[in-house]
Amino acid sequence: MKRPLLIDYSMDSNIDQSTVASFGDEWSRFDQQAMSEKEAYRRFLEYFEIFPFQSLPADAEGFDMGCGSGRWARFVAPRVGRLHCIDPSLDALSVARQVLACSTNLVFHNASVAASGLAFASQDFGYSLGVLHHVPDTAAAIRSCSDLLKPGAPLLLYLYYSFDNRPAWFRAIWRLSNLGRLLIYRLPPRSKQLITDLIAIFIYYPLARLASLLESLNFTVDALPLCYYRNCSFYTMRTDARDRFGTPLEQRFSRQQITTMCHAAGLVDLQFSTTPPFWCVVGFKA
């Protein structure tokens, strides 16, 4: 069976090297293979619910910007003709190549968002989930993704939200938790992993299971912190705790800010998901 090809490209300046290294370590520890197929597919549907697979051309060619461990590419690849998996971390690409070894329609690029090696206006679709809020200039990164698209091609984004649809007390809790992140991300990898595992054990898991219990008693739990994880495995909680507290560079945006950045990048007909995770948005190249 033909193996995916690894193509090396030089990286641009719109990256944070410490964040790249952190994610390389994260995906080496959490390759997502311990997650059940049912949960992995459910999470895929949550992010891709608004993506117009049905409108893509036959044998569509597109890109996964910041592919990480390949957790999204494994479900996208069977639906398209060719998928470019792009990531600045060689460690992450190594994991993705192993995870996606059975897929023959992938090309792997060791590159960044502004130096992917893909030709402008060459792609039928693109997506970047949980990535572009980890680069210094998110607006420029969205423009770089948009530049790769053919006219009318869709781009799916997931950017951390600034809790603009949450009450003030919820935002205050986040600000307190962010103080912890500013300390934890500076730790050595092993110490960082230990601390984020403890956060998953003593914060994520109890709050998630409390939300699950309350929901079973017919209480509305949408306003509870970490209620999103009430149907998630502990493996997912560990992964996301590491992602949330172990990453050096993190930015958050309101729905209006995302709208402004997308329009500036030449994306139109924006559609936001109305369910978590926030914010997922798909736009089309004008």
Same domain as 37, residue 104? yes
Q: Based on the fold, state whether residues 148 and 10 are members of the same structural domain.
A: yes
Alpha helices in the chain (DSSP H): 17-29, 37-48, 73-76, 90-99, 138-147, 168-184, 189-199, 205-216, 234-246, 255-264
Q: Which residue has the tokens 């139109």?
A: 268
Tell me: do 141 and 89 sit in the same domain.
Answer: yes
- What CA–CA distance (Å, rounded) separates 55 from 280? 19
**pLDDT at residue 8, rounded to an integer:** 45
Do residues 16 and 61 both lie within one domain? Answer: yes
Q: Are residues 135 and 215 in the same domain?
A: no
3-class SS of residue 110? strand
- 82 with 179, same domain: the answer is no
Q: What pLDDT does residue 13 have?
A: 77
Does one domain contain both 74 and 176? no
In one-letter notation, the amino acid at residue 201 is I
Give the residue numbers spanning the domain of 77. 5-162+252-285
Predicted confidence at residue 12, as pLDDT, reads 66
- Co-location of 140 and 262 in the same domain: yes
Residues of the chain under the 50 pLDDT cut: 1-11
Q: How many structural domains compose the chain?
A: 2
Three-class secondary structure of residue 16 per DSSP: coil
Task: Tell me: do 14 and 47 sit in the same domain.
Answer: yes
Q: In what order do the strands lie in the sheet with 61-65?
A: 5-8, 106-110, 82-87, 61-65, 125-129, 154-158, 280-285, 267-272
- Helix 168-184, helix 189-199: angle, nearest 10: 150
88 and 228 share a domain?
A: no
Residues 141 and 264 in one domain: yes
Please give the single-letter amino acid code of residue 69. Answer: S
Q: Residue 18 maps to which CATH number?
A: 3.40.50.150
Q: Are residues 146 and 14 in the same domain?
A: yes
